[in-house]
A and B are shown apart, each in its own frame.
Chain A
Amino acid sequence: MTALAPVLEMRGIRKAFPGVVALDGVDLALRAGEVHMLLGENGAGKSTLMKILSGAYRRDDGEILIGGARVDIESPRDALARGIRVIYQELTLVPQLSVAENIFLGALPARRFGVVDRRALHAQTARLLADLGMAIDPRTRVGRLGLAQRQMVEIAKALAADAADPGAAVLVMDEPTSALTAREVEQLFELIQRLSSRGVAIVYITHRMDEVFRIGRRVTVLRDGRVVATRTLNEVSVAELVRMMANRDLTDHFPKVRAARGPELLRVEGLSRRGALHDVSFTLHAGEVLGVAGLLGSGRTELARAVAGADRYDAGEVRVSGRVARFRGPADAIACGVGLLPEDRKAEGLVAGLTVARNIALPHGRRLARWGVLSARCESDLAGPITAELRIKATPVQSVRLLSGGNQQKVVLGKWLAGRMRVFIFDEPTRGVDVGAKVEIYNLMNRLTAQGAGIIMISSELPELLGMSDRLLVMHRGRIQTVLEHDAATEERVVSAALGLGAADDRGTSHGVVG
């Protein structure tokens, strides 16, 4: 067996951007058929390393060897030709085209005059999808698929390209499960197993420890652009890995501090929005973290957006501190002290070209300005203490574009800390955020509730919801399936409620809590 000889090796890779050394002599060796986990806090250099592998960036120094021979990867084309496939976090499908058209976009089977041979295309796609164990109709328009299925199509696309090429030798996946449900994750893992048994080396980037141990064979931990260690996974513990990543002990992932429950801040009654929300009612009290669980498409995000004035609703009522609030837009909600941290920080949370200070000051222009004029330092004066409090690793005058995910998320949080908010709606506050920053966000939530704020936290990560919530609201198909007090919330109960099991009576028992 040549299993131990690396199929691909990166040696002494260096890459610097203006002002930052992103990678400083990184070594990575991939063996055929292994699932190699790549760990590290955001900004540790994982993405940069993978972009060098895929030809998106050029390395400043170091070498790449395939099968022991030095190769130059100067462009994504080179990488493809050498059997390197990368699936990025941001999906790259064209929603208007069908599954089959997306998968074979670069190599559509054509007849004379460039007319696409649909029959061949669909047969080809069906074969590929069946081979990968995916139950998706090749003719479906991608825009109609859920996120998880799109991810599957993305993987199929990456693997399809090898039909004409030497074959996919290396597959890179960057947090592929961040948008998937538990069942879909299982499907993905089965697929990964199948690919690795065919000899494909898989690089898997994730923040989830359970996944690391579940499917990984070896792990490489990056920190500040250097390799901390490469280890075989059965020789290493979670605590060790976390320590390597963060270089500090994190014994308690959920440093929850319970605050005294104060008066009612928010009361939502009968909130409905056609096709998204049905008769949703709940209350939020001062000092409370109300967790919202549910699968993708269960109406979690729609609920958050409706309450925060970002979307309209057809029926129902929102009361803030007892008074009926009619939000015509986010501005009204903000004026009432309701701030939303949106699900997708790049698309909805940040203006990438603006500086840290200007992003933080964005919701507060009216308060900061006199007659519309902003004085020279008012924005940095506002943002300065907040960047310090949140330990944002950037100066207020830096553009947010170049910050790591964790720091970007802190900037979005900072927008609301700068105001006098009483109700915080956090939609996936720790998605794509490294362990250290996660803990800081949890501590921030503790501080806010201690000061008498109420927090609604939506999350796909169950441990986080169970660890941080005082009450847990589980949604299913736009309705509240159940509400669980902290001590009654278990993983099984939440999961079964999210799947729509054990609905009505559970709801009955907790109706008093729903209010």
Chain B
Amino acid sequence: MNPARQFGTLIGLLVLCVILWILSPFFLTVSNLLNVAEQTSINAIVAVGMTFVILSGGIDLSVGSIVALAGVVLGLALRGDQPLALALFVALVAGAICGLANGMLVSLGGLPPFIVTLGTMSIARGAALLVTEGRPISGFAASFRLFATGRVGFVPAPVIATALVYLIAHLALTRTTFGRYVYAIGGNEEATRLSGVAIPFHKTMIYVVSGLTAAIAAVILTARLNSAQPIAGMMYELDAIAATVIGGTSLMGGEGTLAGTLVGALIMGVLRNGLNLLGVSSFLQQIVIGAVIVVAVLLDTMLKRKHAV
């Protein structure tokens, strides 16, 4: 939407990289950068769905719990000796169903997204804990682990998955009627409705997208941990919201891009990696990341104020 704004986020990322390059000799190495990309992939993928939802003027707090639930479903299917393709399919369906429930409650039930997804957050987490009795599921075939450890050339599989998800989602957002309606609903829902757009259907689909991307992230996470854990994905919703907002998407809806969200996710990933390299305590890390979120949005707001009027 706003090229100047995106440029700003990108410059922020580059400045961050330069600083870390100066401070740590290990930062700018191929292996470390690949490491960052790999670690960022899960948050980046979850943030795709979050971007759709926030663009439409909503919020999805349930994605972290959906990551856990979809992971557990995947784990159970794999341990039940189901074929890999089927296991993946049911995991994605589980994520989509959670999204469907969110979307229908928001669009047909007319409830605020915050409340609906707060409820689903608890329900999905509870369901994941219930079916596993709180214990992790592990011991998967080596072929499944390739989702985390596999490489194409030197590029890790999660990075390729992220690139694919972003490519498809970007095309959907910019080249399809669905994408156009996401922006239109977030920009002015009533005008969009009066233009004859089926709001309930499209709103529901937006949450389904969010559930789906959470489930895709769950596949990668489960493969990386080599175990499906009902307590996985805690606070992922906040990371995803942070990446989206740092990337310039307006919480009011209607404005933002996936490219921005990707840069936002990378800023968070690079920051975490850098702070680890510098040996900063994890307590202090939380403070730094929180500050970065606030500063990024502050800069954004100031920029907009300058340009808008």
Q: Do A and B bind each other?
A: yes
Are the CB atoms of A365 and B188 closer together than 8 Å?
no
Contact string against A for B residues 280-308, beta-carbon threshold 8 Å, 1 for contact and 0 otherwise: 00000000000000000000000000010
The one of A310, A352, A373 that contacts B188, using a Cβ cutoff of 8 Å: A352
Are the CB atoms of A347 and B196 closer together than 8 Å?
no
Within 8 A of B (CB), among A327-380: 329-331, 333-335, 340, 342, 347-354, 358, 361-363, 365-366, 368-369, 372-374, 376
Chain B residues in 8 Å Cβ range of A308: 194
Q: Which residue of A lies closest to B177 (CB)?
A: A365
Given contacts A330-B194, A349-B191, whether A18 and B307 have CB atoms under 8 Å apart is yes
The one of B178, B188, B193, B194 that contacts A372, using a Cβ cutoff of 8 Å: B178
The one of B1, B175, B192, B196 that contacts A351, using a Cβ cutoff of 8 Å: B192
User: Measured between alpha carbons, how far is A373 from B180 in the docked complex, in Å?
Assistant: 10
CB distance from B208 to the nearest CB of A (A): 15
Chain B residues in 8 Å Cβ range of A362: 180, 184, 191-192, 195, 197
Are the CB atoms of A365 and B181 closer together than 8 Å?
yes
Chain B residues in 8 Å Cβ range of A113: none
Chain A residues in 8 Å Cβ range of B196: 329-331, 333-335, 363
User: Measured between alpha carbons, how far is A446 from B183 in the docked complex, in Å?
Assistant: 34
Chain B residues in 8 Å Cβ range of A330: 193-196
Chain B's interface size range is: 20 to 34
Given contacts A57-B309, A354-B184, A373-B175, whether A348 and B191 have CB atoms under 8 Å apart is yes
Q: Which residue of A lies closest to B174 (CB)?
A: A374
Q: Which residue of B lies closest to A51 (CB)?
A: B309
Q: Which residue of B lies closest to A334 (CB)?
A: B196
User: Measured between alpha carbons, how far is A354 from B253 in the docked complex, in Å?
Assistant: 12
Q: Which residue of A lies closest to B184 (CB)?
A: A351
Q: Which residue of B lies closest to A379 (CB)?
A: B180
User: Measured between alpha carbons, how far is A351 from B192 in the docked complex, in Å?
Assistant: 7
CB distance from A333 to the nearest CB of B (A): 8
Are the CB atoms of B190 and A353 closer together than 8 Å?
no
Given contacts A18-B307, A353-B255, A372-B176, whether A329 and B198 have CB atoms under 8 Å apart is yes
Are the CB atoms of B177 and A366 closer together than 8 Å?
yes
Are the CB atoms of A347 and B190 closer together than 8 Å?
yes
Are the CB atoms of A331 and B198 closer together than 8 Å?
yes
User: Measured between alpha carbons, how far is A348 from B198 in the docked complex, in Å?
Assistant: 15
Question: Is A415 interfacial (CB 8 A cutoff)?
Answer: yes
Are the CB atoms of B176 and A353 closer together than 8 Å?
no
Within 8 A of B (CB), among A15-37: 17-18
Q: Which residue of A lies closest to B171 (CB)?
A: A373
User: Measured between alpha carbons, how far is A353 from B307 in the docked complex, in Å?
Assistant: 14
CB distance from B229 to the nearest CB of A (A): 37
Contact string against A for B residues 182-214, beta-carbon threshold 8 Å, 1 for contact and 0 otherwise: 011001101111111110000000000000000
Chain A's interface size range is: 20 to 34
User: Measured between alpha carbons, how far is A310 from B1 in the docked complex, in Å?
Assistant: 30
Question: Is B254 interfacial (CB 8 A cutoff)?
Answer: yes
Are the CB atoms of A372 and B177 closer together than 8 Å?
yes
Are the CB atoms of A329 and B193 closer together than 8 Å?
yes
Among B188, B191, B194: residue with most chain A CB under 10 A: B194
User: Measured between alpha carbons, how far is A363 from B177 in the docked complex, in Å?
Assistant: 10
User: Measured between alpha carbons, how far is A335 from B195 in the docked complex, in Å?
Assistant: 11
Are the CB atoms of A363 and B307 closer together than 8 Å?
no
Given contacts A369-B176, A369-B177, A374-B176, whether A351 and B191 have CB atoms under 8 Å apart is yes
Within 8 A of A (CB), among B1-31: 1
Chain A residues in 8 Å Cβ range of B176: 369, 372-374
Q: Which residue of A lies closest to B255 (CB)?
A: A353
CB distance from B63 to the nearest CB of A (A): 24
Chain B residues in 8 Å Cβ range of A333: 196
Within 8 A of B (CB), among A392-406: none
User: Measured between alpha carbons, how far is A347 from B187 in the docked complex, in Å?
Assistant: 10
Are the CB atoms of A374 and B175 closer together than 8 Å?
yes
Within 8 A of B (CB), among A25-74: 57
User: Measured between alpha carbons, how far is A65 from B207 in the docked complex, in Å?
Assistant: 56
User: Measured between alpha carbons, how far is A331 from B181 in the docked complex, in Å?
Assistant: 14
Are the CB atoms of B197 and A342 closer together than 8 Å?
no
Q: Which residue of A lies closest to B200 (CB)?
A: A329
Chain A residues in 8 Å Cβ range of B198: 329, 331
Contact string against A for B residues 235-255, beta-carbon threshold 8 Å, 1 for contact and 0 otherwise: 000000000000000000011
CB distance from A381 to the nearest CB of B (A): 15
Are the CB atoms of B183 and A353 closer together than 8 Å?
yes
CB distance from B259 to the nearest CB of A (A): 17
Are the CB atoms of A351 and B254 closer together than 8 Å?
yes
Among B175, B181, B196: residue with most chain A CB under 10 A: B196
User: Measured between alpha carbons, how far is A313 from B29 in the docked complex, in Å?
Assistant: 67
Are the CB atoms of A350 and B183 closer together than 8 Å?
no
Chain B residues in 8 Å Cβ range of A347: 188, 190-191
User: Measured between alpha carbons, how far is A330 from B189 in the docked complex, in Å?
Assistant: 13
User: Measured between alpha carbons, how far is A308 from B254 in the docked complex, in Å?
Assistant: 26
Chain B residues in 8 Å Cβ range of A335: 196
Are the CB atoms of A351 and B183 closer together than 8 Å?
yes
CB distance from A483 to the nearest CB of B (A): 27
CB distance from A78 to the nearest CB of B (A): 17
Are the CB atoms of A365 and B194 closer together than 8 Å?
no
CB distance from A410 to the nearest CB of B (A): 15
Are the CB atoms of B194 and A350 closer together than 8 Å?
no
Given contacts A362-B197, A369-B177, whether A351 and B309 have CB atoms under 8 Å apart is no
User: Measured between alpha carbons, how far is A362 from B196 in the docked complex, in Å?
Assistant: 8
Chain B residues in 8 Å Cβ range of A350: 188, 191
Chain A residues in 8 Å Cβ range of B188: 347-348, 350-352
Chain B residues in 8 Å Cβ range of A373: 175-176
Contact string against A for B residues 252-293, beta-carbon threshold 8 Å, 1 for contact and 0 otherwise: 001100000000000000000000000000000000000000
Are the CB atoms of A348 and B180 closer together than 8 Å?
no
CB distance from A186 to the nearest CB of B (A): 33
* 8 A-B pairs in the complex with CB atoms less than 8 angstroms apart: A57-B309, A331-B198, A333-B196, A348-B188, A348-B190, A349-B194, A354-B184, A374-B180
Closest 10 CB pairs of A and B: A365-B177, A351-B187, A331-B196, A334-B196, A363-B195, A362-B195, A353-B254, A353-B187, A351-B188, A369-B177
Q: 12 new A-B pairs (CB below 8 Å) besides A353-B183, A362-B195, A373-B176?
A: A17-B309, A57-B309, A310-B194, A329-B193, A330-B195, A335-B196, A348-B194, A351-B188, A354-B183, A358-B180, A362-B180, A369-B176
A contact residues vs B (CB 8 Å cutoff): 17-18, 57, 308, 310, 329-331, 333-335, 340, 342, 347-354, 358, 361-363, 365-366, 368-369, 372-374, 376, 415
B contact residues vs A (CB 8 Å cutoff): 1, 175-178, 180-181, 183-184, 187-188, 190-198, 254-255, 307, 309
